[in-house]
Amino acid sequence: MSLNNQVLDKPISAELPYVEANLSYLVPMAEKPVNYTYEPPPGIPRTNATYQTHKLPIYNARSISENISLDREGFAFTGHNTNVRNFYDEDEVRRVYYPEAEQLLKKVTGATKVIIFDHTLRNASQSKPGENNIKEPALRVHNDFTAKSGYTRARLELAARGIDDIDTLLKQRFAIINVWRAIATPIQESPLAVCDAQSIPPTDLVAGDLVYRDRVGETYGITYNSKHKWFYFPQMHREEALFIKCFDSAEDGYARFAAHTAFEDPTSPANAPPRESIELRTFVFYPA
């Protein structure tokens, strides 16, 4: 049975171990949030948004991982071996990891077509903005795409690949799913937390502009709600994969937006090495 067809049959309860951590949420605002991905011109702030931390339980989902569903909770987890030796080698990632992930996603989701269109490496000790493409962990609650930008980015990427009849392709159900993985030692510092999409009312999703040098994207900031249910998979290592659904074109009950954020784990050792991870962004096209 594929992960997306499984149903959560173990209730979330205090029986699951958890940590309490501060998560950074968007403070409600009158204007549209704007975030620059680069240093903006003088006099323009990097962002007009403000964030506030709220302490919440983040449940260890390892014991229920086989019962968590991309279509219900908006995220899923599995063991998966990779033949990549060096994730910092751009060519090797595209040549080895992209095909691995494509086959994995087809197996997990039942998709007929998978297109990997982007990847991000994160390592705070190696991140040099403006000099390399390695980023620090993102320590605010967000979702990578909106109901609008899921389609906008799909059209952009499909056109860039010379794919014909884009309109017909986008009339069938498709999703944007991130594939997230540790690439070095098991993660202790800044692990990733994922919010059960069922616990996020649409009113908590705030569309904001993400400004690049050559285009403007749109992402969701998330406002605080005590009903949000957060989970993580502690000590993730390179032979495991976490799937996060950032967009689903279906509007008939499937999970659509699973918010996520890195967080400061209070149980992390003071001398823990910086988190090293990679996330792929992918289009997953379901059978018509």
Q: Report whether pLDDT(5) > 70.
A: no
- Does residue 16 belong to any structural domain of this protein? no
Give the DSSP letter string of 100-130. HHHHHHHHHH--SEEEEEEEEEE-TTT--TT
162 lies in some domain: yes
Beta pairing partners, 114: 284
Residue 138 lies in a domain: yes
> Is the pLDDT at 273 greater than 80, yes or no?
yes
Q: What pLDDT, in 10s, does the model give residues 138-150?
A: 999 999 999 999 9
51, part of any domain = yes
pLDDT at 129: 81
Q: Is the dihedral of CA 80, 86, 88, 89 positive or negative?
A: negative
Q: With 50 as the cut, is the pLDDT of residue 155 above it?
A: yes
**Residue 14, domain member (yes or no):** no
Quote the pLDDT of residue 6.
38
What gap in Å lies between CA 245 and CA 114, rounded to an integer? 14
Confidence of residue 12 (pLDDT cuts 50, 70, 90): low
Contact 199, 228 (CB under 8 A): yes
More confident residue, 130 or 66: 66
pLDDT of 9 reads 42
CATH number, domain containing residue 112: 2.60.120
Q: How confident is the model at residue 8 (pLDDT cuts 50, 70, 90)?
A: very low
Within a domain: residue 213?
A: yes
Is the pLDDT confidence value at 28 over 60? Answer: yes
Q: Does residue 18 belong to any structural domain of this protein?
A: no
User: Is the pLDDT reported for residue 209 higher than 70?
Assistant: yes
At 256 the three-state DSSP class reads: coil
pLDDT digits (tens, 9 = 90+) for 85-139: 999 999 999 999 999 999 999 999 999 999 999 999 999 999 888 788 899 999 9
Q: Which helix (H) or strand (E) covers residue 155, if one does?
A: helix 149-160
Residue 12 belongs to a domain: no
pTM above 0.85, yes or no: yes
**Average pLDDT over every residue of 147-154:** 98
Lowest mean pLDDT among 24-28, 58-62, 133-137: 133-137
Range of the domain at 273: 32-285
For the residues 173-181, what does the mean pLDDT come to? Answer: 98
Confidence of residue 235 (pLDDT cuts 50, 70, 90): very high
Number of domains observed in the structure of the chain: 1
CA distance 28 to 45: 18
